[in-house]
Structure 1
Amino acid sequence: MVARWHTVKISVLIIALAMLDLIFTLLGVWSVVGETRNWVLSFEALTLILLLCNCLIIRQVINQHQYAHSYRLVANLVVFSLLFCLAGDIVNFNLAQHYFQHGAVIKHDYLADSVWFFMPGYLLLFLACWCLLGYSGTQVVYFIIAMLITSLLALFSYLNMHLPGSGWYVTLLTGGYALVIAQAALLGLCLLISSRIAKTQRTILALGMILATVADALIGQFWLFGNEGQGYYPQIRAINWAIYITSQAIVIHLPLVAITQAQTSSRTSAAEAGLAK
């Protein structure tokens, strides 16, 4: 229990660092554009390292638990999900500061390159959520229907912000990713209404999943296709960063929520067995 609270405190610190980054950017203390660029990237890299360390600590807590065998898979899925996303973050840092790499319309088209990492990263996270939800039978059918509806809404939203002349590479990658990342919000809603998880935990976890969709929606609307392809940069980058890091700092706790759920179910079963006697 003590170790779990330590991971919560670290996540709060990570979110605080992301908010500090946002405040400093909006106040003009530093910027990813100009002389202070290296300071911003170093600060954000430190935040990502702290995020990864906390995720690994959570995995270690799971491995030491009595239910480790059942939930080690969930912990591993979350760790590898984060590793893929961290690789995507590095791409989005645009260390070489190359623009218009895939055409003459989208300035920050390196964002499309990061999809190669964020796509598998979030798919792994979705699998972890699926394990936690434990759907079966008609629940799976209802989920598939909801997923198709979500995809249609995401496609409609994407087509509304897409700029003609963006090129097939940017269009296919970002369009496909828009359909995928929209499912994070759907899974968040599924977690929110799940009776298998404690109310407070499912509310916070749902928030983390929904924020993942919000963060990427902001990227598409204001960073990638916004301002006629120039992007509202760097302000939108800082806003996106704060939301994205908050999301990641929350969702890495998914394995701990799964363990808590298992403990609650075990105690309930034991109590019912005692009453039966």
Structure 2
Amino acid sequence: MASDETIPPEPRGRVLSIAGSDPSGGAGIQADLKTIAALGGYGATAITALTVQNTRGVTATHHVPADIIAGQIEAVLSDIGADAIKTGMLATSSVIETVADTLGDRVAKIPLVIDPVMVASSGAVLVEEDALQAMKSVLVPRAFMLTPNAPEAEKLTGIVVEDVDSQRAAGEALLEMGATHVLVKGGHIEGSQIIDLLVTPKGVRLFTRPRIRTRNTHGTGCTLASAIAAFLARGLPVDQSVEKAGDYLHEAIARAPGFGEGPGPVNHVWPLAEAGLARLGG
């Protein structure tokens, strides 16, 4: 289990994302790479699954063999290395165990950000039933940062998450399960404000932002987790990484391009576009 003191002393912004592929570009590996690059980091990947999906839903999934997943992780970490690691879609207990075994004790030195992906924005279930137990017993205790939304926090803890008090209770339960820091997201909880709750052994911090009424929420969980990983990889402290990642995602939602017929993607690269216009005098 990692702690604040185990973050590498000279981080360089390298992030390894271990997640599924979304051909529509709004979630998964594609969202992670765009997010990490937009925030000044260097993204590398280990693909766990190929999905057939767009904003309307997921119609098929092909699981990558365990040895190929392990090989991708080893290829990156043994050469380029990482200053943070982020996981997304890990659909089976076998995949979860493969990832945990391959990472080994490296997560004691490299912060591991776990987005416990269970259901896509379109409503498609992305994990098999046995994966939930493996996530609890194998992944959660290795998490430097765990980023469940309210339904995911409920599944992991059995606590109904419907307000700040229950967000805190779920977060504290996940700390007891071994996570070092937990961000219980509030996007699924009704209200004009979205409250994300960061729960740590040192206390609780609330991040409150106005809710943007929009259909464009495809890949928001992937995007936030990879943004947190990108800031951690640059050496920022936990609370600052969470705050900056939340601000980045809020703006990405506000600037969503409006693509697709279902929940549309956010604008992952808005910081790059803004910087480019500034350089051109626009």
In the superposition, the TM-score normalised over structure 1's length comes to 0.28
Q: Which has a greater percent of strand?
A: 2
